[in-house]
Amino acid sequence: MSVVTKEIENRKSKIENPLRIVDCGLAGYRDILDLQLRLHEQRRQGQIPDTILIVEHEPVITLGARQSANILLVDGGCLADRGIQLVSTRRGGGATAHNPGQMVFYPVLDLRQLRLGISEYVRKLEAIGAELLAQLGVDAHRRKGLPGLWVDGRKIASIGVRVSKFTTYHGMAINIQNDLGIFDLFVPCGLQSVEMTSALKETGKSYNMNSVKEQLAPLLTKHFSSEA
């Protein structure tokens, strides 16, 4: 299946290596993973500029590279009956989930050009997520040793990244107004008794996802353009 994409205008277009931000709409996880892999190779060879995909996913549970953190509470047949795909990946971390109403972004960046180490890169992802959630009325924060964002002990955003030859892929998922019931089917990130939350659950407000994308795009440019 092909992915329908739309480039979001980059208002800092005069920079030497402009950041491309691409809206992929609602798409299947495997389709976007294939697209990331193609972009990763193109970025590594210098054929394209730094690129970030923004997407909402059809329901899927993904397994990370840390096998001990991939803990399913139902079998594959149960997931299939519910229309939920199960996909193994090579990103860091353990099992997580994506579904409509969750904002996901996948940076394909050359960390050398941005002069970022991996830890600094993860901190930037967390800063972007926290700034976006603040605009939506949610005060989210980091927890030492646990990548992602939290609201009073409840997890609202997850990070799982991979860096190969200094170039990133995979990324960050932020729960805006998605069905949190999907997280009851596994142990999120291998963390026992973790409670998941969303902007909707915290504020009682519903959100226009296109407007959320428009709020996210300038934050990505702020943190990841070569002028940042």
Does 1 reside within a domain?
no
pLDDT of residue 55: 98
- Residue 119 tokens, joined: 């830890």
pLDDT of residue 227: 56
Going through the chain in order, the beta strands assigned E by DSSP cover 6-8, 20-27, 51-57, 60-63, 85-88, 96-98, 102-108, 141-143, 146-151, 154-164, 167-175, 195-196
Does 162 reside within a domain?
yes
- Residue 73's Cβ-count burial label (10 Å; 0-12, 13-18, 19+) is exposed
Query: Domain holding 141: CATH number?
Result: 3.30.930.10
Q: What is the dihedral of CA 85, 91, 96, 98, to 10 degrees?
A: -60
pTM for this predicted structure: 0.92
Which residues lie below 8 Å from residue 145, measured CB to CB, with a gap of 6+? none
Backbone angles phi, psi at 162, to 5 degrees: -140, 140
Which range, of 3-12, 97-106, 115-124, 213-222, averages the lowest pLDDT? 3-12
Please determine, for residue 1, whether its predicted confidence score (pLDDT) is greater than 60: no
Does 210 reside within a domain?
yes
pLDDT of residue 10: 54
- Domain of 110, in residue numbers: 6-224
Q: How far is CA 163 from the centre of its chain?
A: 15
Which residues lie below 8 Å from residue 123, measured CB to CB, with a gap of 6+? 142
Evaluate whether 7 touches 23 at the Cβ level (below 8 Å). Answer: yes
Residues noted as catalytic: 189
pLDDT, tens digit (0-9, with 9 covering 90-100), for 181-190: 999 999 998 8
Please determine, for residue 76, whether its predicted confidence score (pLDDT) is greater than 60: yes
Does 11 reside within a domain?
yes
Which range, of 15-19, 121-125, 149-153, 158-162, averages the lowest pLDDT? 15-19
Please tell me the distance from the alpha carbon of residue 14 to that of residue 16, in angstroms, as a whole number: 6
pLDDT, tens digit (0-9, with 9 covering 90-100), for 195-209: 999 999 999 999 999
Does 106 reside within a domain?
yes
Could you give the angle at which helices 209-224 and 118-135 cross, rounded to 10 degrees? 140
pLDDT of residue 9: 57
Residue written as token pair 């070569």: 226
* Stretch 117-143: mean pLDDT: 97
pLDDT, tens digit (0-9, with 9 covering 90-100), for 101-113: 999 999 999 999 9
Indicate the number of domains in the chain. 1
